[in-house]
Amino acid sequence: MIDIFYSRQKNTYLFVSKILITIQKTNTIRGLAIIAVIFLHILAYLPGIYNSNQQILYISLDQFARFCMPAFIILSGYGLATKYESKKINYWKFFKTRILKLIPLYLVWSIFSILIINSIPTWSFGNQPKSLLVQLLIGQADYQLYFLPVIFQLYAIFPVIWFHRKNLKLILFIALFAQIILYIYFYFKLNNSDRLEYTLFLSWIVYFIFGIYLKSKELPKMLIKLAPIGSVFSFVLIVFFSLQQINNGLDPLPALKFTKILIIPFGLLANLSFATINFSSRLLVWFGKNSYIIFLSHTIGLRIIYAIFTNQLRIDILMMIIVLWLTVIYLSLRVLNKRKPKIEISNNVKLSND
């Protein structure tokens, strides 16, 4: 939904738009994003697809799904800006509240993942740190969990950004410059894993600040209209260059990763398009509402499915893991449901949670 308003200056109407993201729209975008996350991880179980006869199709699907992490981070920034729009922030109280909201389930799923993966060596992933403390600090208990330490880092800097929100446009440009420089630095370190790069908040900072900017500032109406076209154009360029790199011998992992310069305009414009185009479904909203649990649990679930189809594990071991996995999901849902406020909120109300 777009809230259009006008500014009169010297008898001239200047058209600008302020983005209003409702709770339903937030859950819809989160639903799309978590489905994209799962899809990316399913593709990881199909070796050789990026060098197959259908490589253009698979590369295109992979790269389109890369809007997902920018989406979660943009919505997080927007949600925090909405929540603290008219509130003063006590730094330590703010940070403690945000951490306590997410960290219990993060620790539960990290420890559960460590126990399961260590019990089944074939479920481990490359370059996993051996230190338990390091795994917990930088989200390496399972390969998707890096996202939580990144969010914790972004929460830590939000009060500082919010205090200087009058200079938000300058902050956004500085963030963009810093993120591009970081991507260039890691581009020339192709032999290294992208794990360290993913765990740094600077690798995602422009999306977070863009979310804050969407809530706090107005955008040119022309930019909003051109966002879908711009996202398609940047997407085509991403696929073209990724295809070239893979065909020139580059491993698909660095060729298709999130932290590429062209992913930045695609992630920003695609999510701006999602925020301003009216679409929704009950299924997407359901996925969005449950995206945190799905995010934490789906990688073990995919391993279970893979084990079933490949007869990877003995049936008794497999059944035990399934029971444990479902039990942790059930307990996680109970924890989340206890924290949800027992009030009805109209879908037209501005986003008030993040």
* Mean pLDDT for the stretch of residues 33-48: 95
Residue 301: how many other CB atoms lie within 10 Å: 16
- Tell me the DSSP string of 302-331: HHHHHHHHHT-S-HHHHHHHHHHHHHHHHH
At residue 73, does pLDDT exceed 90?
yes
What is the helix (H) or strand (E) element at residue 261, kind and residue range? none
Residue 137 has a pLDDT of 87
288 Cβ partners below 8 Å, 6+ apart?
26, 27, 28, 29, 30, 31, 32, 34
At residue 9, does pLDDT exceed 80?
no
| 160-164, 204-208, 265-269: least confidently modelled range | 160-164
Cα angle value 110/114/117 (rounded, 5°):
130
| 90-99, 143-152, 174-183: least confidently modelled range | 90-99
Sign of CA dihedral 59, 60, 65, 70: positive
The full set of domain ranges for the chain reads 2-339
